[in-house]
């Protein structure tokens, strides 16, 4: 299995596979309330079978070239992940997302991991647009979108029921030409 270093702090990006189910469940359990505030993953991965099923769904997506999931490890512990929830090669559009347990926040891990995935999506796979769908209440995730150079396209007002409350979803996006222009300007990798 490969691992991509995310910096000098022992952080790595690796593919997540079904056999990582116990690690995924442990990470979700460590941050279940925090992770579940804005995304439904904590409700899907509620036990080992749920973790296996969720990981298998991404293995199936990878096999169909329709999505993928990658883990973020810090000092050998899985602390979160980044993913392409939707991947549509013919249209050149995909949707990225993330989760992170609370003990790993504030280190730039998601931003650094997403930069690796964005390089791959744009440069290796020729994608045209990457979208980031985020609850309007999820300021840390909105800040990731900003750090990645994404533009807020709009807000879907009260479009999503989450824990009995109608949440609004912001749509952020980044185009391949914008990503390449930022690299050409030498935009630094912030942590």
d(CA 127, CA 93): 6
Round to whole Å and give the CA distance between 19 and 14: 13
Residue of 121, 124, 130, 128 whose CA lies nearest to 151: 130
Entry field: residues in the chain: 191
CB 119 within 8 A of CB 113: no
3-state secondary structure string across 77-114: EEEEEEEEEEEECCCCEEEEEEEECHHHCCCCHHHHHH
Q: Pairing relation of β-strands 4-5 and 151-162?
A: unpaired
pLDDT for res 1: 63
Domains of the chain by residue range: 4-184
For the chain, 191 residues long, the average pLDDT of each consecutive 10-residue run is 85 95 94 82 88 96 96 95 96 96 93 96 97 93 95 93 87 96 70 38
Phi, psi of 70 (to 5 degrees): -135, 140
The reported pLDDT for the residue numbered 187 is 61
**183: helix, coil or strand?**
helix
Task: Identify which of 152, 149, 145 has the alpha carbon closest to the alpha carbon of residue 187.
Answer: 149
In terms of DSSP H, where are the helices of 37-175?
Answer: 41-44, 48-63, 109-119, 139-147
Confidence at residue 182, expressed as pLDDT on a 0 to 100 scale: 86
Q: In the CATH scheme, what architecture does the domain 4-184 have?
A: 3-Layer(aba) Sandwich (3.40)
Q: Is the pTM of this model over 0.85?
A: yes
CA distances 113 to 41, 103, 108, 122, 173, Å, are 19, 17, 9, 15, 17
pLDDT of residue 37: 81
Tokens matching residue 53: 């099923």
């Amino acid at each position: 299995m490969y691992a991509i270093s995310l910096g000098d702090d022992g952080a790595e990006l690796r593919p997540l596979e079904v056999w990582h189910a116990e690690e995924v469940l442990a990470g979700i359990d460590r941050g279940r309330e925090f992770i579940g505030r804005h995304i439904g993953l904590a409700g899907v991965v509620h036990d080992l079978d749920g973790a296996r099923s969720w990981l298998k769904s991404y293995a199936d997506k990878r096999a169909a070239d329709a999505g993928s999931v990658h883990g973020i490890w810090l000092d050998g512990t899985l602390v979160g992940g980044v993913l392409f929830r939707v991947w549509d090669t013919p249209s050149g559009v995909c949707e990225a997302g993330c989760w992170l347990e609370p003990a790993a926040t504030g280190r730039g891990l998601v931003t650094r991991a997403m930069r690796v995935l964005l390089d791959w999506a744009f440069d290796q796979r020729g994608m045209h647009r990457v979208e980031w769908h985020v609850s309007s209440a999820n300021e840390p995730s909105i800040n990731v979108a900003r750090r990645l150079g994404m533009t807020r396209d709009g807000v879907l007002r009260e479009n999503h029921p989450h824990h009995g409350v109608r949440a609004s979803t912001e749509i952020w996006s980044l185009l391949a030409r914008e990503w390449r222009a930022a690299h050409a300007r030498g935009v630094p990798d912030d942590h």
